[in-house]
């Protein structure tokens, strides 16, 4: 197998594949970063229900993971990303983003500070060339460890109970913190992080111990309703939470073909994480200029009447002039609300007199709906249990 024929090979299997494939009744697989991952094991509604009412297990091994180490690691990441990395405590995690010189989003992701000079950056897209280019002048080593770290997301209200039953004392573990546990003669890293907006954890382990971990969790988790879930259910949960996904809610600048497709973090509602005072970082000057003059777009959360999901719909001002478009939408089973994420032209950020045009499929026939939308704060779903330390028992 040569590098040039790699794309013709079947998708790679994650270390959990022997288990996930046995459980995948539908053989419903999707491609994620070169891996085969379950879209749905049997019933998305049941899987989503597990996320919100019990516990769920989702194989996140394909997430791109970079290890960044060296004396300049913190300084390097401060220059790379928009947040303040020097202030990130050891064993803590933060959600972050980075941009190109023009201040346009390249990706978002989570940054784990494993040690004073040791970080893991997790994200959706591959960035090794950019990370390496950015390293010029810094004493750091950057490695892609996507393949050498297996990972699971354990999410849902009973997730803490599952971990306790497994013998991992996570009572003191606060949101966006991590801790190490001995397991199967290796170190299991558990972080209180996730992509569902709910109480939840992510578990990181060497591939060799992946199956042992899966089995242990599934065994101990059974009484708590633990269920493996696929991407469909997780994407529904993330939309309910109001989280962004690269290539769905924004086009990474380095991939955008059309000049006007890229977006700045300010335009995506991520201005809160930009640290203007930490010193220089890539894109800062462009973002400062944008802050002065105002951006072109705004990302908004929307409430829509009815129960027809507005996926892919266009937004109109006064029902006539195009003003934006929906990037993610769902009728939320948890909240019983019809929700959407949308990009609107900056002058329509208040969403006044904005209408969404939905084509509702009703027994083979499309019906055109023109419905008024209302801006609504994000995250849409943020239960108390997500934050509570120690997490509540079920």
Which parts of this chain interact with other proteins (CB under 8 A)? 75, 79-80, 100-101, 130, 133-134, 136-138, 279-280, 282-285
- Cβ-contact 290, 270 below 8 angstroms: no
CA atoms in the 13 A half-sphere facing the CB of 227: 22
Q: Cβ of residue 344: shortest distance to other proteins, in angstroms?
A: 27
Bond from prior residue into 379 cis (ω within 30 degrees of 0):
yes
Give Cα separations from 195 to 110, 245, 258, 337 (angstroms). Answer: 10, 10, 29, 20
Taking each continuous run of H as one helix and of E as one strand, the counts in the chain are 8, 20
Nearer to other proteins, 31 or 141 (CB): 141
Q: Cβ of residue 272: shortest distance to other proteins, in angstroms?
A: 21
Q: How does strand 365-372 pair with strand 354-362?
A: antiparallel
Report helix, strand or coil for 209.
helix
Nearer to other proteins, 260 or 363 (CB): 260
Tokens of 94: 């933060």
Ranges of H-type helices in the chain: 17-23, 44-53, 73-80, 128-134, 159-165, 210-221, 231-241, 284-293
Nearer to other proteins, 139 or 171 (CB): 139
Separation of alpha carbons 128 and 218, rounded Å: 35
Tokens of 303: 């409430």
Place of tokens 């023009």: 102
Separation of alpha carbons 373 and 391, rounded Å: 36
Closest to 347 (Cα-Cα) out of 260, 277, 267: 267
Nearer to other proteins, 83 or 177 (CB): 83
Bond from prior residue into 390 cis (ω within 30 degrees of 0):
yes
Nearer to other proteins, 132 or 374 (CB): 132
Separation of alpha carbons 300 and 298, rounded Å: 6
Q: Cβ of residue 133: shortest distance to other proteins, in angstroms?
A: 4
Nearer to other proteins, 131 or 342 (CB): 131
Q: Cβ of residue 11: shortest distance to other proteins, in angstroms?
A: 32
Q: Cβ of residue 281: shortest distance to other proteins, in angstroms?
A: 8
Q: Cβ of residue 197: shortest distance to other proteins, in angstroms?
A: 32
Separation of alpha carbons 57 and 232, rounded Å: 13
Nearer to other proteins, 208 or 288 (CB): 288
Nearer to other proteins, 164 or 284 (CB): 284
Q: Cβ of residue 79: shortest distance to other proteins, in angstroms?
A: 6
Separation of alpha carbons 127 and 110, rounded Å: 14
Contacts for 43 with CB less than 8 Å, ≥ 6 apart:
none
Nearer to other proteins, 10 or 280 (CB): 280
Q: Cβ of residue 275: shortest distance to other proteins, in angstroms?
A: 14
Q: Cβ of residue 118: shortest distance to other proteins, in angstroms?
A: 20
Nearer to other proteins, 10 or 129 (CB): 129
Closest to 11 (Cα-Cα) out of 40, 37, 34, 39: 34
Ranges of H-type helices in 140-252: 159-165, 210-221, 231-241
Q: Cβ of residue 12: shortest distance to other proteins, in angstroms?
A: 30
């Amino acid at each position: 197998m040569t590098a040039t024929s790699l794309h013709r090979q079947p998708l790679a299997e994650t270390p959990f594949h022997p288990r996930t494939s046995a459980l995948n009744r539908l053989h419903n697989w999707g491609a994620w970063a070169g891996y085969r991952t379950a879209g749905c094991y049997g019933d998305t509604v049941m899987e989503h229900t597990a996320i919100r009412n019990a516990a769920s297990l989702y194989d996140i091994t394909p997430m791109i993971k970079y290890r960044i180490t060296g004396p300049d690691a913190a300084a390097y990441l401060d220059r790379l990303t928009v947040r303040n990395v020097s202030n990130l405590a050891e064993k803590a995690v933060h959600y972050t983003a980075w941009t190109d010189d023009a201040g346009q989003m390249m990706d978002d992701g989570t940054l784990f500070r494993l040690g004073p000079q040791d970080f893991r950056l997790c994200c959706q897209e591959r960035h090794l060339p950019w990370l390496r280019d950015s390293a010029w002048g810094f004493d750091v080593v950057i490695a892609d460890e996507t393949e050498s770290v297996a990972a699971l997301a354990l999410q849902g209200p009973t997730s803490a109970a599952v971990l306790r039953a497994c013998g991992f004392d996570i009572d003191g573990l606060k949101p966006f913190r991590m801790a190490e546990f001995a397991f199967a003669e290796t170190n299991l890293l558990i972080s209180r992080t996730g992509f569902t907006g709910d109480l939840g954890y992510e578990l990181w382990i060497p591939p060799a111990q992946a199956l042992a971990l899966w089995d242990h969790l599934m065994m101990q988790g059974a009484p708590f309703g633990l269920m493996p879930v696929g991407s469909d259910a997780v994407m529904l949960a993330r939309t309910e939470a109001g989280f962004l996904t690269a290539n769905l809610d924004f086009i990474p600048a380095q991939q955008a073909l059309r000049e006007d497709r890229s977006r700045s973090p300010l335009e995506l509602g991520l201005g809160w994480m930009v640290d203007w005072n930490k010193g220089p970082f890539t894109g800062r000057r462009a973002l400062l200029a944008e802050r002065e003059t105002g951006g072109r777009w705004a990302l908004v959360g929307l409430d829509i009447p009815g129960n027809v999901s507005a996926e892919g719909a266009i937004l109109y001002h006064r029902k006539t002039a195009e003003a934006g478009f929906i990037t993610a939408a769902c009728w939320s089973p948890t909240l019983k609300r019809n929700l959407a994420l949308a990009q609107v032209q900056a002058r329509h950020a208040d969403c006044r007199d904005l209408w969404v045009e939905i084509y509702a499929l009703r027994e083979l026939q499309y019906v055109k709906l023109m419905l008024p939308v209302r801006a609504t704060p994000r995250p849409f779903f943020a239960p108390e249990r997500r934050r509570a330390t120690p997490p509540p028992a079920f």
